[in-house]
Amino acid sequence: MGLPMSFARDPCPDLTLSLPDPAVLHHLGEHFAAGYFELPGASPMRRWSRAVRRRFENRAVPPYQGELLYPAGAAYRGTEDRLLSPSYSFTWNYDDALLNERLNNGSTKEQCGALAALQAHFREILPQLGMALRQHGVGGVGYTHSIPNYGRVVHEGLDRHGERIADGLTRAEGEGDAGKRDFYLGLQDVLEGIRVWQGKLSAALTDAPTNGAPWRERLLAAYERVPFRPARDFFEGLVAYNFTYYLDDCDNPGRLDLELGELCERALAEGSLTRDEAVKLVRQLWENVDANNGWSTGIGGTAPDGSPCRNALTKICLEAAQGIRRPNLQLHIRQDMPDDLWEAALDTLATGCGLPALYNEEVYLQALRDADLGVREEDLAWHNGGGCTETMIHGRSNVGSLDAGINLPYILVQTLDEHLATAASFEGLLSAYKDDMRQAVADIADIVNANQEAKARLRPQPMRSLLVDDCLETGKEFNAGGARYNWSVVNVAGLANVTDSLAAVREVVFETKELTGTELLDVLRRNFEGAEEMGKRLERCPRFGNDDPAADEIAAAVSESLFRDFLAQRPWRGGRFLASCLMFVTYADAGRPVGATPDGRRAGEPLADSAGPVQGRDKRGPTAMLKSVAKVPHRLAPGTLVVNARFTKDFFTTAAGRSRLKELVRTYFDLGGMQLQVNVVDQQVLRDALPHPERHEDLIIRIGGYSEYFNHLSPELKQTVLERTEHGM
């Protein structure tokens, strides 16, 4: 293997590359990489498992500063594992630029040789994992969020995981199955690394100052038992839960009230825990999620036996989330949800944090059944949005989220270029657009499937193989299809832009015949330059979000065709492709490669920020907006179609307002809507935050599929938030 061309002027161009010396990598603080290179002839599963072990054995321990849970705050890495770092989505991330910097900053010859060999190795691997999605890389490229089975750690303990691994290893050796043998040997390494890490945390607590740290002794006592033995009470359970959250590198907390609700209620009844303490403990977990930019927690909804899931912890989760940005709290609303839970949800929303997002429980459960994903009835209750809100099953699934995206306006521009000038009817043009979407779906599925297969070979996930069912039972690695449920979520960008554009084409070209197809194409190619009046005329055409059948029927037709096309495709790992729309902060970037569109949007401008109307185009009130959005067949897109809505504060500060908002949500859900997220931010506050960000450091808004600090957004995105319609009483 020769030296890469970029090293022509390296301080060590004469070295003959081989595999790096792990001892040198350890000396450089690259323990994760060192572990990987300890077993050069072994399978990827064993090599990455050894990397995980060495990472935990050598990882810097965060200082204990009196928090209620430990670890706490942002995950502490110090200076180790920077060239090759762990990733909950990709197993590992490799930083080529930092490696070049180290090579050029006085490394010894021995260090230089190890670094250059490491670089050559990963430059050879990375092209095998690439995904050439280009304009369709909207919101995710081969990404994988997940949710560990926290309950098995809490209620069984990791020692039981060790027993299951040992049993599997015995079976594999008896069957002579080398692949499964490596799988279980690798997980034994992972478990040993976790054991060392837990011991280091306990030692840090023991050595921490006692002054001002009243929870230190309780934490020490808890760590004498968890996470290796079952938790006996709510506090031990939450310590084990928090430990596992950090173990998985701070992705999704998942279904907390389902996992710990019984322990919480028992502790409250016994008097060993006060409600105020419970709120503070959960708030600490939420602050840990927020500090790590972590993701989603579902609460409420349905228990595995089909009964309502609402316990003391459900309301505690809501109260603990007041005014916070993360986690992306998702309230699963059943038709029988009581008023006290509604009021708790509205109290939290009134703090302006955009939490909780609201989910139509019955329709989600039915949509998952209808999607033919093979989900057992008792597992449906564990559905939870991961990441922003990509639907998965807590503790039991590997969901590509987001595996890819599809840029609908980009495809439309191509369709118009090829067909508008010669189209004999609007129906013919619409049919051509559906054909182009269908081809894009097939191409995207091929790319995703190739990537999934490559990840199974080259990017095994040891930690998730340990923590997600049924990998241990089957002896199959997480990325190779070992999880009980496997499917892929794909992001749909710009549905509202396409709807408005096609409605405009139908009106001005085929109905009023104000322009020929050729003339409209000329206007678009000139980006409306010299045709500003025509741009204004197009803006008066039917708009999605106003309960106008002329637009809504197009949205329904386009989306149903697209969603069914995705459901017809099969991912390599299993399951189906589920459409979603959760553009979070990517809808500005998604608009950059898209030329001018017939809805009056100029080339390069942002797309719609969600599955709802283009920001600011809904003019007839919230009922009309929600009725339009409900025309889209949400049931065919259980990956989650995010819908943003802004409401004035009087919806939350008066009894009449609260009643009106509940009626709106119930009506929308009765019409088939599946998800709604609410912003409660005064327009004047937003306007002041533009020139004076220092005055609004804690201002939170709902963007795409989650809440974010307003000051973290780009100027383009801030403007789109201002443009959203604010619905009043």
Q: Is the pLDDT reported for residue 7 higher than 50?
A: no
Q: Is the pLDDT reported for residue 701 higher than 90?
A: no
Q: Is the pLDDT reported for residue 626 higher than 90?
A: yes
Q: Quick one: three-class SS letters along 512-555? A: CCCCCHHHHHHHHHCCCCCCHHHHHHHCCCCCCCCCCHHHHHHH
CB 462 within 8 A of CB 35: no
Q: What is the DSSP secondary structure assignment for residue 408, as one 8-state letter? A: H
Q: How far apart are CA 311 and CA 296, in angstroms?
A: 19
Q: What is the pLDDT of residues 279-317, one digit of tens each?
A: 999 999 999 999 999 999 999 999 999 999 999 999 999
Listed in sequence order, the residues at least 6 apart from 348 whose beta carbon sits closer than 8 Å to its beta carbon are 318, 319, 321, 322, 329, 355, 356
Closest by CA to 462, choosing from 474, 450, 479, is 479
* C-alpha torsion sign, points 223, 227, 233, 234: positive
Predicted confidence at residue 131, as pLDDT, reads: 73
Lowest mean pLDDT, pick from 39-48, 211-220, 319-328, 517-526:
211-220
Q: How many CA atoms lie within 13 A of 178 on its CB side?
A: 3
Q: What is the mean pLDDT of residues 467-476?
A: 98
Q: Is the pLDDT reported for residue 725 higher than 80?
A: no
Q: What is the mean pLDDT of residues 539-548?
A: 96
Q: How confident is the model at residue 13 (pLDDT cuts 50, 70, 90)?
A: very low
Q: How confident is the model at residue 712 (pLDDT cuts 50, 70, 90)?
A: confident
Q: Is the pLDDT reported for residue 4 higher than 70?
A: no
Q: What is the pLDDT of residues 133-190, one digit of tens each?
A: 777 778 778 889 999 999 999 999 999 999 999 999 999 999 999 999 999 999 999 9
Q: Is the pLDDT reported for residue 707 higher than 70?
A: no
Q: What is the mean pLDDT of residues 89-105?
A: 93
Q: What is the DSSP secondary structure assignment for residue 225, as one 8-state letter? A: T
| Residue 230 one-letter amino acid | P
CA distances from 259 to 108, 142, 396, 639, 719 (A): 52, 29, 14, 23, 40
Listed in sequence order, the residues at least 6 apart from 452 whose beta carbon sits closer than 8 Å to its beta carbon are 400, 403, 479, 488, 571, 572, 573
For residue 50, with 0-12 CB atoms within 10 Å meaning exposed, 13-18 middle and 19 or more buried, which class applies? buried
CA distances from 155 to 146, 226, 236, 381, 416 (A): 20, 10, 10, 19, 58
Q: Is the pLDDT reported for residue 76 higher than 80?
A: no
Q: What is the mean pLDDT of residues 348-376?
A: 96
Q: What is the pLDDT of residues 266-278, one digit of tens each?
A: 999 999 999 999 9
Predicted confidence at residue 15, as pLDDT, reads: 37
Q: How confident is the model at residue 698 (pLDDT cuts 50, 70, 90)?
A: low
Greater model confidence, 413 or 103:
413
Bridge partners (DSSP) listed for residue 357: 330
Q: How far apart are CA 311 and CA 265, in angstroms?
A: 7
Q: What is the pLDDT of residues 396-421, one digit of tens each?
A: 999 999 899 999 999 999 999 999 99
State in Å, rounded, how far the first CA of the chain is from the last one: 69
Q: How confident is the model at residue 705 (pLDDT cuts 50, 70, 90)?
A: low
Predicted confidence at residue 107, as pLDDT, reads: 76
Predicted confidence at residue 660, as pLDDT, reads: 93
Predicted confidence at residue 722, as pLDDT, reads: 65
Cβ atoms within 10 Å, residue 602: 15
Closest by CA to 599, choosing from 558, 643, 540, is 540
Closest by CA to 65, choosing from 225, 224, 210, is 210
For residue 392, the surrounding DSSP H or E stretch is strand 390-393
Bridge partners (DSSP) listed for residue 92: 86
Pairing relation of β-strands 84-87 and 91-94? antiparallel
Q: How confident is the model at residue 456 (pLDDT cuts 50, 70, 90)?
A: very high
Predicted confidence at residue 274, as pLDDT, reads: 97
- Percent of the residues in the chain that have a pLDDT greater than 90, as a whole number: 81
Greater model confidence, 241 or 107:
241
Q: pTM, whole model, 2 decimals?
A: 0.94
Q: Is the pLDDT reported for residue 9 higher than 60?
A: no
Predicted confidence at residue 141, as pLDDT, reads: 84
Q: How far apart are CA 699 and CA 712, in angstroms?
A: 10
Q: How far apart are CA 713 and CA 585, in angstroms?
A: 8
Helices 408-419/495-505 angle, 10° precision = 30
CB 273 within 8 A of CB 215: no
For residue 287, the surrounding DSSP H or E stretch is helix 275-291
Q: How many CA atoms lie within 13 A of 668 on its CB side?
A: 30
For residue 611, with 0-12 CB atoms within 10 Å meaning exposed, 13-18 middle and 19 or more buried, which class applies? buried
For residue 390, the surrounding DSSP H or E stretch is strand 390-393
Please give the angle made by the CA atoms of 260, 53 and 151, to the nearest 5 degrees.
10
Q: What is the pLDDT of residues 515-541, one digit of tens each?
A: 999 999 999 999 999 999 999 999 999
Q: What is the pLDDT of residues 636-668, one digit of tens each?
A: 999 999 998 888 888 888 999 999 999 999 999
For residue 625, with 0-12 CB atoms within 10 Å meaning exposed, 13-18 middle and 19 or more buried, which class applies? buried
Q: Is the pLDDT reported for residue 11 higher than 60?
A: no
Task: Using DSSP, state whether 357 is helix, strand or coil.
Answer: strand
The tokens for 312 are 């003391």
Q: Is the pLDDT reported for residue 3 higher than 60?
A: no
Greater model confidence, 77 or 192:
192
Predicted confidence at residue 316, as pLDDT, reads: 98
Q: What is the DSSP secondary structure assignment for residue 127, as one 8-state letter? A: G
Backbone angles phi, psi at 395, to 5 degrees: 75, 0
Q: How confident is the model at residue 1 (pLDDT cuts 50, 70, 90)?
A: very low
Bridge partners (DSSP) listed for residue 678: 645
Q: How confident is the model at residue 23 (pLDDT cuts 50, 70, 90)?
A: very high
Q: What is the mean pLDDT of residues 673-697?
A: 79
> Average pLDDT, whole number, for the chain?
92
Listed in sequence order, the residues at least 6 apart from 700 whose beta carbon sits closer than 8 Å to its beta carbon are 323, 325, 352, 353, 354, 707, 708, 709, 710
Closest by CA to 563, choosing from 674, 702, 449, is 674
Q: Is the pLDDT reported for residue 673 higher than 50?
A: yes
Q: How far apart are CA 514 and CA 313, in angstroms?
A: 61
Q: What is the DSSP secondary structure assignment for residue 16, as one 8-state letter? A: P
Predicted confidence at residue 729, as pLDDT, reads: 61
CB 548 within 8 A of CB 629: no
Q: Is the pLDDT reported for residue 5 higher than 60?
A: no
Predicted confidence at residue 727, as pLDDT, reads: 64
CB 275 within 8 A of CB 60: no
Q: Which of 64-68, 425-429, 444-448, 696-700 has the highest mean pLDDT?
A: 425-429
Q: How confident is the model at residue 703 (pLDDT cuts 50, 70, 90)?
A: low
Q: Is the pLDDT reported for residue 69 higher than 80?
A: yes
